[in-house]
C-alpha cells in the first residue's frame, strides 16, 4: 500500500487579484489530505462520500480527471483509492487542490512514473482548470511545493518571527467559480475601478513579502486588514465573515481576513501566541470550527 499526503493552503494576500495576473502570497498549512492506494480488481474510491465503483466524474471529478491525465503516461491499472482529509471541503483552504496533488503523487508512485514536483504541479493545475473551467495555479502549486510562495512566479518567501495562524471555518461552503464570475461581472460594469483595486492588491503583495521576510508581524497584520477591506469592497465578504474578523481583531489579533474566494469559506487570523486561546474562544460561537495551525514547509510527501 502507498500512502501520500498534500497540504491545504491559505492566502496572506492576493486572492481574486491573481485571476487577473496580479501578485499574491499564499502558504501551505499543516492540514492535510491523505490518499492511500493499493492494487484492486477494479477501480474503487473510498471517501467521506462513501464507496464508489469505477470513477464517476460527477461524484469525484478531480480524481477521475487525474486518472485520465495519468493515462497519458501509463495505462491505469485498477486501484483502490482511499481519501481522508483534515480540510473541510469548499472552505477556501484548497481542499480540491490537495486531493488532486495527493492523488497524482500516489498514482505516480503506484505506476512507477517518478514524476517530479514540477510535473505534478503542472498536471494538477490542468485537472483543476478542466474541472472548474478556469483556475489559478496557486492552490496546486503551493500544495505541491509547500512553504510560502509569491505568485505567479512561485518564488519562495521566508517568514521570520513567530505567530500562530488560526483558521475559522464559517460552515458555509462557497463556489470559487461563482465568486470569480461575480467579481468579473462587477469588473465588466466598472473596469477602471476594479482594475485600480486589483493594482492595489498587487502592491500589497510586495509589502506583505517584505514584512514576512523582516518578521514585522504587526505590520503584516495591518496589510492583511487592508486586503480584507478591499475584498469586502468587491463583494466577496458578508456579515458573518465581518463579525468573525472583528471578533479576532478585538481580542488582539495582528490581522484577520478572508482566505480564498470568500462568500463563506474561512478566515485566517495572524495571532500573537499569547492571544491565541482568547481569540479562539471569541471565534467559537461564530464559526463551525476553529483550528490553530502553522505553515507547512514540506508540500506533497509520501508518508
Distance of alpha carbon 223 from alpha carbon 207, whole angstroms: 8
Region label for 169, one of left (φ > 0), alpha (ψ between -120 and 50) or beta (otherwise): beta
Distance of alpha carbon 134 from alpha carbon 233, whole angstroms: 23
In contact, 128 and 42? CB cutoff 8 Å: no
Q: Prior bond to 249 cis, omega within 30?
A: no
Please provide the distance, in angstroms rounded to a whole number, between the alpha carbons at the two ends of the chain: 11
SS (H, E, C) 137-161: CHHHHHHHHCCEEEECCCEEECCCC
Q: Which is nearest to 130 in space by CA: 87, 96, 93?
A: 96
- What cell does 243 get? 463579525
Give residue for cell 492523488.
Answer: 103
In contact, 91 and 260? CB cutoff 8 Å: yes
Distance of alpha carbon 75 from alpha carbon 77, whole angstroms: 6
Distance of alpha carbon 195 from alpha carbon 204, whole angstroms: 14
Active site residues: 139
**Strand 79-85 to strand 255-259: parallel, antiparallel, or no bridges (unpaired)?**
unpaired
Amino acid at each position: 500500500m502507498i500512502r501520500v499526503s498534500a497540504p491545504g493552503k491559505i492566502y496572506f494576500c492576493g486572492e481574486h487579484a491573481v485571476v487577473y495576473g496580479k501578485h499574491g502570497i499564499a502558504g501551505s498549512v499543516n492540514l492535510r489530505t491523505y490518499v492511500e492506494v493499493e492494487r484492486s480488481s477494479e477501480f474503487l474510491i473510498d471517501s467521506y462520500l462513501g464507496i464508489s465503483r469505477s470513477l464517476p466524474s460527477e461524484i469525484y471529478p478531480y480524481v477521475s480527471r487525474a486518472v485520465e491525465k495519468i493515462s497519458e503516461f501509463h495505462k491505469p491499472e485498477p486501484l483502490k483509492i482511499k481519501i481522508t482529509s483534515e480540510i473541510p471541503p469548499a472552505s477556501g483552504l484548497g481542499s480540491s487542490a490537495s486531493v488532486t496533488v495527493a492523488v497524482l503523487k500516489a498514482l505516480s508512485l503506484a505506476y512507477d512514473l517518478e514524476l517530479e514536483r514540477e510535473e505534478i504541479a503542472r498536471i494538477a493545475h490542468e485537472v483543476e482548470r478542466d474541472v472548474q473551467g478556469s483556475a489559478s495555479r496557486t492552490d496546486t502549486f503551493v500544495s505541491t511545493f509547500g512553504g510560502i510562495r509569491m505568485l505567479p512566479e512561485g518564488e519562495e518567501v521566508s517568514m521570520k518571527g513567530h505567530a500562530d495562524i488560526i483558521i475559522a471555518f464559517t460552515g458555509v461552503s462557497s463556489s470559487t467559480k461563482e465568486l470569480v464570475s461575480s467579481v468579473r461581472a462587477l469588473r465588466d460594469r466598472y473596469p477602471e475601478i476594479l482594475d485600480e483595486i486589483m493594482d492595489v492588491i498587487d502592491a500589497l503583495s510586495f509589502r506583505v513579502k517584505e514584512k514576512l521576510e523582516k518578521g514585522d508581524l504587526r505590520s503584516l497584520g495591518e496589510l492583511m486588514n487592508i486586503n480584507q477591506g478591499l475584498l469586502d469592497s468587491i463583494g466577496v465578504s458578508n456579515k458573518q465573515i465581518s463579525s468573525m474578523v472583528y471578533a479576532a481583531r478585538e481580542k488582539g489579533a495582528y490581522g484577520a481576513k478572508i482566505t480564498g474566494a470568500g462568500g463563506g469559506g474561512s478566515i485566517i487570523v495572524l495571532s500573537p501566541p499569547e492571544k491565541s486561546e482568547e481569540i479562539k474562544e471569541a471565534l467559537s460561537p461564530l464559526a463551525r470550527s476553529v483550528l490553530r495551525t502553522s505553515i507547512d514547509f514540506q508540500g506533497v510527501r509520501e508518508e
